Amino acid sequence: MVSGKTDERMRISYFVRNMVTFTLLGAGVFLLLQAVVQCEFPATLRLERAFPANHPIELSHLRDGDSFRHQRILRGVTQLSVYGTYDPLVAGLYFTTITLGSPPKDYHVQIDTGSDVLWIGCKPCKECPTSSGLEIPVTLYDPSRSSTSSPISCSDERCSPSDKSNSCSHDWCTYNINYEDGSGTSGHYVSDLMHFEIFMDTESSINISASVVFGCSTSETGRLTKTKRPVDGILGLGQQGLSIMSQLSSQGIAPTSFSHCLADGGGLLVLGKAVVPNMVFTPLVKSKWHYNVNLESISVDGQTMSIDPSVFALNHDQTGTIIDSGTTLVYLTKEAYTPVVEAIKHAVSQSIQPLISKDYVCYSFPESYSFTTIFPTVSFNFAGGASMHLRPCDYLLRQISMSGARVWCMGILPSREEGITILGDLVLRDKVIVYDLGGQQIGWADRDCKFMYKIYIISFSIFNISAGGSSLRISCNQLILTVVISCIVHLTMMLFASFFHLFPH
């Protein structure tokens, strides 16, 4: 009988020890994983319900998202979150956050592929806004507060005399930049550190810093002074020597390409080449300033318009066709604007009549109508056989409703200058756009950029478990202390079980 009781106690002891071991081991591993993340080890995750049960997502979208992420990781690139929207009623611009100086400080800058210079509002600054309707802080760069900041002298080779915007003042290399909308900025160039996080593979990233030259703006004019939507500066992503891409690629910090995927409310900016399926490319036209492409024809509802291709060309007296993320709408040269808009109006004339006010062509129709079945598809056809197909939502802007009816206006306007066609954010959104400077080409592929942005947020944000509107956040010290206490309790219970086995009653 004693032997039977001893065997029973041994079985109980074995069961208790293993149950406690596996339970606390699992809890310990879970908490240690959280400690790794909270203590800023190389792995960071954010967990949330990415794919709601009531909003199914096609497998093709998931595959494309994985491809986008894998190619980004394998190429060792920097990825920046983008904020803003194409909608001029809300913001009419896209901006991102960069980090400059020592100690590092964050600055919000508009993404602009139509200019070259990165500039930041500086202390002291004349007419620089101090608040923003975009609900972001306005931060002025103070060269005296950064230990790595230094002014660029006139004798510095980076102060290019061939650039008409540059000049000299008291041996400082100064600049004066004017934009197409009449706004402008002036100041002097400085050199300071720019800080990046580069993702090397699926589990590691490195933080690096590079010395870059940028404008220290001491005076701003035009829309740059308005408080409705100001940012700290403009990130010029052009091709010239002082553009950030040119500076970083010459130092081996970034590839000779960058990409963006813009959505309504945000997106991604990748310093590197995003590779996604079904991407088409068209060659860049050699130009001194802009990202010019050869637009050959425009089609409406599958019918090619009778427009002389030369009106889109770049020559001595016209600017040609430009892809520009700093522009909101689409501007067609006058020879192209009239036939394109008339063709769109003709395609919808059987359904609804247009409301025309000055240069704006708008339509009002009940909420129950679907504009995707009313308006035609518009296609821009480029050299190399690449076409950019625009759905109605890609060229229409929703305006304030009137008496229960929706009002949509065309975001296609006549160009203010002769011989210039500009494709702005309205048609660039929900597309992965690749600026391949090394290959001298621009490519694009249709994608749900909101979905791409969610993939980025889930993959590379701070650890956060959310449920029912509440969240669980545990500090690093709390996590480590919890793991230590768990181990002590585990050992104590194992000793108790062993004592029960060795000294039966």
Which residue numbers are catalytic?
Answer: 112, 324
* Max CA separation in the chain (angstroms): 109
Residue type, 73: I
H helices of 149-275, in order, are: 244-250
Q: Are strands 420-423 and 320-323 parallel, antiparallel or unpaired?
A: parallel
CA 64 to chain centre: 17
**3-class SS of residue 484:** helix
**What is 62-102 written as a DSSP string?**
HHHHHHHHHHHHHHTEEEEEEEEES-TTTTSEEEEEEEETT
CB 447 within 8 A of CB 430: yes
A 10 A CB-CB count for 302 gives: 8
CA 445 to chain centre: 16
Closest CA to 194 of 214, 177, 216: 214
The phi, psi pair for 266, rounded to 5°, reads 165, -160
Q: Please state, in angstroms and as integers, the Cα–Cα distance from residue 304 to each residue in 67, 154, 340, 347, following that order.
A: 34, 52, 10, 14
DSSP state of 479: H
What would the 3-class secondary structure string for 31-65 be? HHHHHHHHCCCCCCCCECCCCCCCCCCCHHHHHHH
Q: Which helix (H) or strand (E) holds 197?
A: strand 184-199
Assigned token pair, 66: 């994985």
Query: Residues of 25-61 as b/e, b for ≥16 C-beta within 10 angstroms?
Result: eeebeebeebbbbbeeeeeebbeeeeeeeeeeeeeee
Sheet holding 396-402, edge to edge: 354-357, 360-366, 405-410, 396-402
In whole angstroms, give the CA distance from residue 115 to residue 322. Answer: 12
